[in-house]
Amino acid sequence: MATEHSKSAARIMIAPAVFLLLVWMLIPLCMTLYFSFADYRPMRGVFDAWIGFDNYVRFVSSSSFLSSVGTTLWMVGGILAITITGGILLALLLDQPMFGQGIVRILVIAPFFVMPTVSALVWKNMFFNVDNGLFSYFYKFFGMQPYDFLSQSPLLSIVIIVAWQWLPFATLIMLTAVQSLSSEQLEAAEIDGAPPLARFWYIILPHLSRAITVVILIQTIFLLSIFAEIFVTTNGAFGTRTLTYLVYQRVLESQNIGLGSAGGIVAVILANIIAIFLMRIVGKNIDN
């Protein structure tokens, strides 16, 4: 039984981690909050500590805000759709009896460990490049005009790059979930004459629902802050400017700290709405 003594010892042991995270969260966030109400443009030597909600009004009502939210939704939605559909199919495939299953798993999981700048540059140059990229070669091979991915469909290109990186994660989680499905249930359904599609729809998919939810929430948190892939491919041009990227540009490129900070707070609020849902699911899990 935990004694009073061990309880106070426990508090002391938890304290450093809590204190550090508290400082890490509160100080910069309060500074951002403070700047968001200021007209602060260091390059021009402007500093007016209080201009009310002007920055928020300007940030939210600018056309770049709405388009950046749209871009973010398309990007996150596209990547989620690809990784979840692909992840489920791949997981079901990997669950089948085969030779060299371990090696196939290793091949499939590999992209997750490639650093974002490497995967973005490799795709940009060696696959998407209109002059020397591998895709252009395939287009020419089939007698078609090479397609300039990054300038014709920049958003799709980034979606492909990031989906490639996250497909392994979705697959791995789906595979973990698929493997915990009891085979008796599936066999019973098969004996009762349920066709494969019905088995998938009524037994496998419901079983995967928790894993799907977890993948959606965790990926969304990471995908909302996609940065490096945009940074090295389009630098935010051609309709690939997400909310994260817009805030980055306001703060570090145009050095309008007030406006950027207001944008940062907006991003924090939007991310928190998603976070609440994830916390509920994870929270339930602690109790079990």
Partner 1 sequence: MARAISPRKKLMWTALAWGFGLLIFFPILWTFLTSFKAESTAISDPPVWFFFDWTVQNYHDVLERSNYPLALMNSIIIAVGSTLLGIVIAVPAAWAMAFVPGDRTKDVLLWMLSTKMLPAVGVLYPLVLIAKYFGVMDSRLLLVVVLMLINLPIIVWMLYTYFREIPGEILEASRMDGASLKNEILYVLTPMALPGIASTILLNVILAWNEAFWTILLTTVDAAPLTKFIASFSAPEGLFYAKLSAASIMAIAPILIMGWFSQKQLVRGLTFGAVK
Residue whose CB is less far from partner 1, 78 or 167: 167
* Residue 265 C-beta: closest distance to partner 1, Å: 7
The Cα–Cα gap between 232 and 220 comes to: 21
How open is the CA angle 210-215-221, to the nearest 5 degrees? 130
Minimum CB separation from partner 1 for residue 81, in Å? 17
In the bound state with partner 1, the residue whose beta carbon lies nearer, of 50 and 141, is 141
Considering the complex, state which of residue 154 and residue 168 has its C-beta at the smaller distance from partner 1.
168
Q: Provide the 8-state DSSP code for 49.
A: S
CB closer to partner 1, 204 vs 211 = 211
Give me the least distance between CB of 16 and partner 1, in Å please.
5
Q: How far apart are CA 10 and CA 92, in angstroms?
A: 44
Interatomic CA distance for residues 81 and 91, integer angstroms: 15
Alpha-carbon torsion (190, 192, 195, 199), positive or negative: negative
Between CA 237 and CA 249 the distance in angstroms is: 11
Q: Which is nearer to partner 1, 36 or 78 (CB)?
A: 36
Can you read off the two tokens belonging to residue 270? 């939007």
Q: Report the residue number, 78 or 128, with the smaller CB distance to partner 1.
A: 128
Query: What is the closest distance, in whole angstroms, from the C-beta atom of residue 186 to partner 1 in the complex?
Result: 10
Nearer to partner 1, 3 or 61 (CB): 3
**Which among 182, 195, 167, 193 is positioned nearest to 85, based on CA atoms?**
167
Name the minimum Å distance from CB 187 to partner 1.
7
Q: How far is the CB of 42 from partner 1 (least distance, A)?
A: 10
Q: CA-based angle 212:216:222, to the nearest 5? A: 145
Structure tokens at 264: 């940062």
Give the 3-state secondary structure percentages of the chain, helix then strand then coil, rounded to 5: 80, 0, 20
Least CB distance to partner 1 at residue 236 (A): 13
Side-chain half-sphere CA neighbours of 253 within 13 A: 9
- The values of phi and psi at residue 169, to 5°, are -60, -50
